[in-house]
Amino acid sequence: MFNILTLNKIAQCGLAQLGGNYTITDDVSVNADGIILRSFKMHDMELPAELKAIARAGAGTNNIPIDKCSEKGIVVFNTPGANANAVKEIVIAGMLLASRDIVGGIEWSNTLTGDDVDKQVEKGKSNFAGCEIKGKTLGIIGLGAIGILVANAAIALGMDVIGYDPYLSVDSALQLSRHVHKANKPEEVYAAADYITLHVPLMDATRNTINSEAISYMKDGVVILNFARGGLVNNDDIKKALADGKVKKYVVDFTDSETVNQQGIINIPHLGASTEESEDNCAVMAAQEIADYLENGNILNSVNFPNCSLPENNVGRITIMHKNIPNVIAKFTDALSSVNISDMINKSKGDIAYTIINTDHEITSDIVEKLNSIEEVIRVRVIK
């Protein structure tokens, strides 16, 4: 029986993926085996002693203490691609809002009074005229699950697209329209684009990606869209660029005290993935990931441990989290010398590695004790 703690409201279709071996609660005092959450900030939270896994129903994991989890052998999952279509659609909407001054026109329309509103509309509508996006160039920084969908949609709408992603995978490249131009450096994107959209995670290396230097490479009147993370854009630099006329509009899905009520900034209250379909997709994916790990020891879509899975069809199965150093596997096989190892897989991610071992014999407490005594071992779990 596993205890699952939910720290946000999780769609029922996701929780339904967890069978009778699970107790689901929102009581933070429970010594949970797993946590499923959305935006709850965990950094000041005391982690349960039995906690083995955290599943974020979404892509970003900035609200989870990743380093602390890694040290304790807690796998952190996210759900890449589950909300990609929702974000793609709102990015396209963001371009249209910035191009046509739809928001300004609606606000103005709601101020009109009298019996001749139709005449006032015809007289004043030219103040809100804009431009079409067809034929314009969209620059995309980050060609992951969302960036690819945005690129392909923009091509379908008649735009030219140029994208930059130094980590573009083979699978992602195969999904990308052949009409997308691939840049060798971000400056090529900045110089070519009429619209620039960001689709990269927030980390030290990407913080303030859009700053005064980056803006200096851009066309006059560029539109910048940020539906990824607020910290990717330097607020002071973007406001100066708006005041100078270098940037036409900044569309941001992360409204804060520095962006609200600012001329030229279209604030959207973090609606990127806020669709029923997206929330359902993320919940289902998060529940499936955490269940496969707790029940079988398999890891898929972890941000701190490597993807690692092995078919389960033997008497015994054990998983070992450990430091990624030479000769450690030999220590494991020595500790398991009393049983026959039928299958084994080892994967690494940076300084951390993960090993799954199937055996033809039962895993005894003596074996577990030997494995735990190995200096490089972080955590041992007997699956069966």
Catalytic residue (one of 50, 71, 258, 362):
258
Catalytic residue (one of 89, 187, 188, 270):
270
| Number of other CB atoms surrounding residue 375 within 10 Å | 9
Find all residues with CB under 8 Å of 144, minimum gap 6, and list them: 80, 165, 172, 199, 200
- Per the annotation, the verdict on 229 as an active-site residue is yes
If you count them, how many residues does the chain have? 384
SS3 state of residue 163: strand
Strand order of the sheet with strand 181-182? 181-182, 160-164, 137-141, 195-198, 222-226, 247-252, 265-267
In 3-state terms the chain splits into helix, strand, coil percentages (rounded to 5) of 35, 25, 45
Tokens standing for residue 107 = 């606000």
Q: What are phi and psi of 170, to 5 degrees?
A: -65, -45
Q: What's the rounded Cα separation, in Å, for the pair 236 and 13?
A: 42
Beta strands in the chain, from DSSP E residues, in sequence order: 2-6, 22-25, 34-37, 53-56, 75-77, 137-141, 160-164, 181-182, 195-198, 222-226, 247-252, 265-267, 316-323, 341-349, 352-359, 377-382
* Cβ–Cβ under 8 Å, residues 334 and 343: no
Q: Rounded to the nearest 5 degrees, what angle is found at the Cα of 351, between the Cα atoms of 71 and 186?
A: 110
Q: What's the rounded Cα separation, in Å, for the pair 358 and 317?
A: 4
Q: Look at phi and psi of residue 229 and say left if phi exceeds 0, alpha if psi is from -120 to 50, else beta.
A: beta
User: Which residue is listed with tokens 């539906």?
Assistant: 227
- Per the annotation, the verdict on 38 as an active-site residue is no
Find all residues with CB under 8 Å of 165, minimum gap 6, and list them: 141, 142, 143, 144, 147, 172, 182
* DSSP-H helix ranges across 59-169: 66-72, 84-100, 102-109, 117-124, 145-156
Catalytic residue (one of 56, 199, 229, 317):
229
Q: Which amino acid, one-letter code, is at 58?
A: G
Report the first-to-last Cα separation within the chain, whole angstroms.
13
Supply the residues annotated as catalytic: 229, 258, 270
